[in-house]
Amino acid sequence: MDTVEKIVEEFASDIAMSPFSSGTRLRDMIRAIRACKTAAEERAVVRRECAEIRAAISENEQELRHRNMAKLMFIHMLGYPTHFGQMECLKLIAATGYPEKRIGYLGLMLLLDERQEVLMLVTNSLKQDLNHSNQFIVGLALCALGNICSAEMARDLSPEVERLMRSREVNTKKKAALCSIRIVRKVPDLAENFMGLASLLLKEKHHGILISAVQLCTELCKASKDALEYLRKNCIEGLVRILRDVSNSSYAPEYDVAGISDPFLHIRVLKLMRILGQGDADCSEYMNDILAQVATKTESNKNAANAILYECVQTIMGIEATSGLCVLAINILGRFLSNRDNNIRYVALNMLMRAINVDTQAVQRHRTTILECVKDADASIRKRALELVFLLVNDTNVKPLTKELVDYLDLADPDFKEDLTAKICSIVEKFSQDKLWYLDQMFKVLSLAGNHVKDDVWHALVVVISNASELQGYSVRSLYMALQAFVDQGSLVRVAVWCIGEYGEMLVNNIGMLQLEEPITVTESDAVDAVQLTLNRYSADVTTRAMCLVALLKLSSRFPSISERIKQIVSQNKENIVLELQQRSIEFSSIIQRHQSIRPSLLERMPVLDEASYLVKRASTTQGTLAADKPAPAVTPGGLKLPNGVAKPATSPLADLLDLSSDDVPAIATASTTTAPNDFLQDLLGIGGVNSSTAGAPSSSSTDILIDLLSIGSSTSQNGPPAADFSPPQATDLLGSLSSSTSISGIKSAPAVPQDMDLLDGLPSNTSISGVDNHSSIMAFQSATLKINFDFKRHPGKPQETTIHATFTNLTSTSYTDFVFQAAVPKFIQLRLDPASGNVVPASGNGSVTQGLSVTNNQHGQKPLAIRIRMSYKVNGEDRLEQGQVSNFPPGL
């Protein structure tokens, strides 16, 4: 913009000296505009000048036309509309004098573009000027054509440009070559007309022509494969000669830049060589010698020389270069890393990331320098160097590199710690072959930057500790000592509290000591003190406080002698404003004080978690998706949170199944034959989201007791029916009515109790189940391809509860795969789906698939059952979907 302004002021000077100009009005206008103090004053001046220009145009004052055009260009530079002056440009171009044509073409390039229809009117004038005897007028036409040429103009004027490329005038030949670049871009089909001319121009001596020809060859290679092959055969030798001549040339003032002869031509030639040599071994071999010469002879103490070296490295990496030449290029990048200029170091790091794919061993030699860049003061260099270090890690160097990064973690800026921590954790998880080394590194990271560790990282650490039985004692002791020194690191605190709760007796009794360990003295009170300190310190962190309460509950079973003290600590949260913590405190206190007989079974150690399943699940789900899919806490009509493990459905794919009755929100149940892996965070912590799979009944293992324990909450309300949920009824009130399927002898389901009563009071001492009454069967659904039968069973004394046995029968000769049954019910009905017997419905006559449903009608006798169903499956890989409503239930359900 400054250049254009200078040209306009130059025109102002020409106009002032011109015999037909009226004073220095352009300068007066510029001075008046620059003297304006507000935008309103400037607009007023511009409006006044535009009005005078319009008046002059309407009066066809030829002597003022060029001056008015200069003023319009300045106004256009300020951002004001100047479309009314476009025709004046064409009139000036059509004039005979050079000054008028000069300002006319300048106005044409500024005020118009190739999309303007009026541009078609100038084609004839351009053609005349391209054939003009005055080389300066020819130059004006070529400049204008090279800037605003449209596809139609390119086709019309291409022959004139081709002719001018053979001109004897250096400036005309150079401008014609540049103009042809625009023509090739607009009409790639014309590329073949310029291939021979471009190769001829490469034999010129003038650097201006050479750099224009090189740029034209580059554009031809992009536009046409035929041109690329032609230039590979006919131009490689010329390019090598140009590069050798310019590299070995003596001092020439007109081309010298900081002691380097024409670095612009150097770079253009190297770029073209990269295009020609890519994927072509013969061309690459011909270039190797000159590239090695440029790389070795160019000194790197000047910025212009560094630009040439950088382009040379890019060319070497882009062609089929020899291994020795690649090593030379990587060594140049290594020297760049020691440069003081941040920009040079940054581009070197970028290139080294690409060079790893070419020669990893050569890049490894500069590992020390790259590690120093990780500690650089510039944030961009730190981040790029860290990414490069991550790519350099392999099984042989993982330990020294990790040590360097962990040592720097304590000194790193807070803004950089998150990226650094994520990379270290990724390296440790990916390359660890020794679990002890993995644990040591993770403990260090948690201690130094625990607040920057993502949740999935420490979840994975907990899973590893759960599986490493021989290292559990070492882990709990290491974490206990780290907790004493780094209590402000959130992720460290959570892992340490979980380990103390699970393996507290190992901490106190020094069980599982390793040879490298020294015994430590920790009493039962010390272990409880550590958890209590964390509970008090993290008053605003609900997750950490909930984990502390679970740990204290488990320690009450591990350390019976101080269970009374633990009960007092837990009871302090009975009036907590967070309902989750309040509920945990009340129920945990009841377990500690009044139900010691079942406490050992409830609080036994967490079973070993399936590490492979967790890793598969973690790999298939990004952290962002986990956060987005995390269900919101469900709320009962009484306003209380539902327990963990019971969630209100968010966005459901069964939206069209919901229009069943006038009730507000229906409950939705869905089941498939394949259940998702356990939600390890829920299993471990009893907080947060729930398993997305809702099909499954509690098993008769101690795992269910432990999972239920860590999913404590109240699901019933005294003021209304339960909210819509996905969970089986026996899971909704964990400690109030334990399922009859649990392995605890002498316990059977008990009715819900008022909230002011002890949740574990009144547990019967037997597990007998009353007899079951059979009810009639119905055909719930039938189509041309699928039939569903419902068999009913009812429990005497509980008329609102019904068990449905669904049988899915294939009516075709092709098996159905990935079969999933889904159901939706009104709000007054509770529904639980058991897992199906399989996910493949065999062809007709070869069997069927069965699935159980448990239904509770909370308005039994007032409203009948109503269920809307949907079945999805695949037939020969093609998705199928069927749905319907079941309303023909037998009376009395």
Q: Quick one: tokens of 407?
A: 């040592």
CA distance 49 to 42: 11
Give pLDDT, residue 210.
93
Specify whether the CB–CB gap between 631 and 794 falls below 8 A. Answer: no
Nearest to 522 by CA among 590, 581, 476: 476
Q: Which two tokens stand for residue 133?
A: 């005897």
Say whether 330 sits in a helix, a strand or coil.
Answer: helix
The pLDDT score that the predictor gives to residue 9 is 53
What single string gives the DSSP state of each residue in 160-196?
HHHHHTT-S-HHHHHHHHHHHHHHHHH-GGGHHHHHH
| Strand pairing class (829-833; 817-825) | unpaired
Rounded Cα gap, residues 815 and 874, in angstroms: 9
Amino acid identity of 89? C
The pLDDT value recorded for residue 638 is 33
Report the chain's terminal Cα–Cα distance, integer Å: 84
Dist. CA 177–CA 572, nearest whole Å:
86
pLDDT attached to residue 687: 39
CB 790 within 8 A of CB 782: no
Q: How far is CA 337 from CA 260, 312, 334, 372, in A?
A: 22, 16, 5, 9
CATH superfamily of the 659-886 domain: Gamma-adaptin ear (GAE) domain (2.60.40.1230)
Task: Return d(Cα 48, Cα 53) in angstroms, integer.
Answer: 9
CA 506/CA 511 separation, integer angstroms: 5
Per-residue H/E/C for 636-676: CCCCCECCCCCECCCCCCCHHHCCCCCCCCCEEEEEECCCC
Q: What is the pTM (predicted TM-score) of this model? A: 0.60
Tokens of 603: 């609080």
| HEC-encoded secondary structure of 720-733 | ECCCCCCCCHHHHE
CA distance 433 to 146: 63
User: Nearest to residue 807, comparing CAs of 782, 830, 832?
Assistant: 782
Measured CA to CA, the distance from residue 29 to residue 533 in angstroms comes to 77
Spatial distance between the Cα atoms of 202 and 162, rounded to a whole number of angstroms:
15
Q: Are 306 and 344 in contact (CB under 8 A)?
A: yes
Give the other-Cβ count within 10 Å of 224's Cβ. Answer: 20
Q: What is the pLDDT of residue 6?
A: 52
**Is residue 24 classed as helix, strand or coil in its secondary structure?**
coil
Q: Which residues are CB-neighbours of 111 under 8 A, at least 6 positions away?
A: 72, 73, 76, 82, 83, 85, 86, 89
Angle between helices 367-374 and 398-409 (to 10 degrees): 20
CA-CA-CA-CA torsion sign (810, 816, 819, 823): negative
> Could you tell me the strand order of the sheet in which 798-810 lies?
773-782, 786-795, 798-810, 848-857, 829-833
How far apart (Å, rounded) are the C-alpha atoms in residues 466 and 611?
9
Number of other residues whose CB lies within 10 A of the CB of residue 415: 9
Long-range contacts of residues 568-572, Cβ cutoff 8 Å, at least 24 apart: 569/528, 569/532, 569/535
Q: Determine which helix (DSSP H) or strand (DSSP E) holds 478, and give its type and residue range.
A: helix 472-485
What are residue 882's DSSP bridge partners? 871
Q: Which stretch of DSSP H or E encloses residue 199?
A: helix 191-201
DSSP letter for each residue of 82-105? -GGGHHHHHHHHTSSSHHHHHHHH
Are 725 and 632 within 8 A, CB to CB?
no
Residue in the block written with tokens 């759960």: 466
- One-letter amino acid for residue 147 of the chain: N
Bridge-based pairing state of the strands 260-261 and 798-810:
unpaired
The token pair that represents 288 in the structure block: 């190797």
CA distance 474 to 439: 10
Q: What angle do CA 795, 869, 711 make, to 5 degrees?
A: 60
Backbone angles phi, psi at 244, to 5 degrees: -70, -40
Amino acid at 725: D
Instruction: Output the pLDDT for position 706.
Output: 35
- Amino acid identity for residue 850 in this structure: T
CA-wise closest residue to 312 among 340, 280, 335, 282: 335
∠262-265-268 over CA atoms, to 5°?
A: 150
Nearest to 214 by CA among 227, 201, 233, 230: 201
Place of tokens 């009493």: 523
Nearest to 315 by CA among 342, 355, 344: 355
Long-range contacts of 462-466 (CB under 8 A, 24+ apart): 462/495, 462/498, 462/680, 462/684, 463/609, 463/611, 463/614, 463/680, 464/435, 464/438, 464/439, 464/611, 465/439, 465/495, 465/499, 466/606, 466/608, 466/609, 466/611
Q: Half-sphere exposure of residue 635, counting CA atoms within 13 Å on the CB side?
A: 5
Q: Are 828 and 662 in contact (CB under 8 A)?
A: no
Reference 399, options 421, 364, 428, 367; nearest CA is: 428
- Cα(800)–Cα(855) distance, integer angstroms: 8
From the first residue on, what is the mean pLDDT of each consecutive set of 10 residues in the chain (893 residues)? 50 43 68 91 90 83 79 88 83 84 86 76 86 90 89 90 90 92 91 90 90 93 90 90 87 81 91 91 89 87 89 91 90 90 92 88 89 89 90 89 88 86 90 89 91 89 90 91 89 92 89 86 90 87 90 89 88 87 89 81 82 76 46 34 32 37 42 40 40 36 38 36 34 33 34 40 37 66 90 82 91 89 89 89 86 89 87 88 87 77
Catalogue the E-assigned strands of 378-512: none
Q: How far is Cα 817 from Cα 565, in angstroms, rounded to an integer?
A: 57
CA nearest neighbour of 7 among 95, 97, 110, 78: 110
* Torsions phi, psi for 735 (to 5 deg): -90, -10
